[in-house]
């Protein structure tokens, strides 16, 4: 990735008040005002802005002066950038709109959880944390597929490759921050999370160790061998982290929205680069921690790094835009708010398609009269809760039937291939078959009931509603059944 072109020094125009007044006077043109309104929503860095089509009679440099005048009263954050300057940001109308949307959708009482996330929300949260761990690893160069990585996490196998190890470590860190969400942020906590993230990937003595002057740390473009970022001196790491912790733990004099604070902390840890490796992973983990701590529980369902991975250069460029334009954090905020809004929309789309899939699966179950009403209810429950385990005792208690009747129900479903029996000690657990939906559909397609004694005429007519098939898969945000993984 090339280094963005540094913006021109627009403050030089103040040395010639007449010239500045002439530029400002051009705002009387409606076309100029419309142009400024459009680019305000985009919050473009000079590197992109210079390619915009300018209104007639306005040069690119003059337009940049007007843009900067509109950005001339930012809010300052108590986080040092460079040369004693602090990070600063603006909150244009578009950002306020995105913040309101995220507030509405991503808190515990938000629309995603209360209206959309199914009863098995714990499974969704765990799968989402797996997705985040995998994508965060891929963002750092781990060469693995989602399918392989999920199988690794679900099986509990020991990692073999470095990519495996990174995925497992990232997942362990994501689980850890859930347990730390009631704690205050400290350097010890950040170092502890870093230690989990890089376990067995660095020398043991370097795990959780802050860098020193002896460590030559910089960010390079591997394609051009160009150095694109040099972090602050190692001698500043301690007090800079103290500054970030204080910012995370105490209210600011002027209110800063929690999402803006989370993004600022994300940037600051990446900018400070406190470790020799694993800085990006640590920054993203602390970002999640801060949001969970502040009541944004829906972020357990939002694997943000999946979107970062889809455009890694945009993520890196958002850092560089802030670093090359006097610590203007608005670029980094703009990008991250867009990513979060997109992640929420993606989750809504997934849950909508999943709901359609479940409705259709329940219709398939309803079309099998050979199932008694208790078996039918159990299968419908299994479709909603594919990780559920049923026992003779639980089934008998739910329907107030005898143990022999309950056992007959479960064994009948096992013989039909709809449940799988697992023996644990003296108890037999019945779990939904992994291909439960396919079994229901195949039997319906063949017009053959599950009971050997049932007749073809016992089968009801299938709903004409469009079916979901393997050629029309449910969008996969969480399941890991990604057909493109092996491509």
Supply the DSSP string of 284-327, one letter for each residue.
HHHHHHHHHHTT-GGGGG--THHHHHHSHHHHHHHHHHHHHTTT
CB 45 within 8 A of CB 4: yes
- Pairing of the two strands 419-424 and 226-229: unpaired
Residues recorded for the chain: 487
Question: Cα(first)–Cα(last) distance of the chain, in Å?
Answer: 26
| CA distance linking residue 11 with residue 310, whole number of Å | 37
Residues of the chain with CATH 1.10.10.10: 368-458
Cα–Cα nearest to 265, from 89, 133, 79:
79
The per-residue pLDDT for 479 is 41
Largest interatomic CA distance in the chain: 97
Q: What is the CATH number of domain 368-458?
A: 1.10.10.10
The per-residue pLDDT for 46 is 96
The per-residue pLDDT for 161 is 94
| CA distance linking residue 59 with residue 45, whole number of Å | 16
The per-residue pLDDT for 316 is 92
- Pairing of the two strands 226-229 and 219-221: antiparallel
Residue 433, SS3 per DSSP: coil
The per-residue pLDDT for 342 is 93
Tell me the mean pLDDT per 10 residues along the chain, length 487.
Answer: 88 88 93 91 94 94 94 94 93 95 78 52 72 91 87 87 95 94 96 97 95 92 84 97 98 95 98 96 96 90 88 93 96 97 87 74 74 85 81 89 93 89 90 84 60 36 35 38 35
Residues of the chain with CATH 1.10.3290.10: 77-350
The per-residue pLDDT for 385 is 76
Domain 77-350 belongs in CATH node 2.30.30.90? no
Strand partners, 424: 427
Q: Which pair of tokens denotes residue 116?
A: 């959309």
The per-residue pLDDT for 370 is 79
């Amino acid at each position: 990735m090339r280094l963005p072109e540094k913006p021109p020094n627009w403050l030089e125009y103040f040395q010639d008040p007449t010239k500045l007044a002439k530029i400002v006077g051009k705002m009387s043109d409606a076309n100029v005002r419309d142009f400024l309104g459009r680019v305000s929503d985009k919050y473009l860095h000079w590197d992109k802005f210079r390619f915009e089509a300018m209104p007639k009679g306005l040069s690119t440099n003059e337009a940049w002066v007007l843009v900067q005048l509109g950005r001339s009263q930012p809010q300052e954050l108590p986080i040092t950038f460079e040369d004693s300057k602090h990070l600063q940001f603006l909150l244009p109308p578009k950002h306020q709109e995105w913040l309101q949307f995220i507030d509405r959708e991503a808190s515990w009482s938000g629309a995603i959880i209360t209206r959309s996330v199914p009863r098995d929300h714990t499974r969704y949260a765990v799968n989402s944390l797996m997705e985040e761990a995998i994508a965060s690893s891929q963002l750092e160069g781990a060469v693995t597929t989602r399918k392989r990585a999920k199988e690794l996490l679900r099986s509990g196998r020991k990692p073999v490759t470095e990519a495996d190890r990174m995925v497992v470590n990232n997942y362990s860190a994501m689980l850890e921050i859930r347990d730390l969400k009631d704690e205050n942020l400290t350097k010890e906590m950040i170092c502890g999370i870093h230690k989990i993230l890089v376990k067995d990937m660095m020398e043991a003595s370097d795990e959780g160790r802050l860098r020193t002057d002896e460590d030559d740390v910089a960010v390079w473009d591997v394609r051009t061998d160009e150095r694109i970022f040099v972090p602050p001196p190692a001698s500043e790491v301690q007090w800079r982290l103290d500054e970030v912790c204080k910012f995370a733990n105490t209210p600011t004099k002027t209110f800063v929205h929690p999402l803006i604070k989370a993004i600022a902390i994300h940037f600051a840890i990446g900018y400070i680069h406190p470790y020799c490796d694993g800085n990006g992973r640590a920054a993203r983990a602390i970002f999640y921690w801060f949001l969970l701590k502040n009541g944004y529980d829906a972020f357990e369902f939002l694997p943000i790094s999946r979107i970062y991975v889809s455009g890694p250069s945009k993520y890196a460029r958002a850092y560089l835009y802030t670093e090359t334009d006097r610590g203007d954090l608005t670029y980094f905020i703009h990008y991250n708010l867009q990513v979060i809004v997109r992640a929420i929309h993606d989750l809504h789309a997934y849950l909508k398609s999943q709901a359609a899939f479940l409705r259709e699966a329940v219709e398939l179950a309803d079309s099998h009269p050979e199932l008694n009403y208790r078996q039918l209810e159990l299968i419908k429950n299994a479709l909603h809760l594919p990780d559920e385990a049923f026992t003779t005792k639980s089934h008998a208690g739910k329907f107030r039937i005898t143990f022999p009747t309950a056992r007959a129900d479960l064994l009948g479903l096992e013989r039909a291939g709809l449940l799988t029996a697992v023996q644990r000690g003296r108890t037999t657990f019945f779990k939904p078959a992994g291909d439960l939906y396919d079994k229901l559909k195949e039997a319906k397609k063949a017009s053959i009931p599950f009971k050997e004694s049932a007749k073809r005429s016992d089968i009801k007519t299938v709903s004409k509603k469009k079916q979901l098939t393997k050629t029309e898969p449910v969008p996969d945000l969480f399941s890991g059944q990604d057909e493109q993984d092996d491509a």
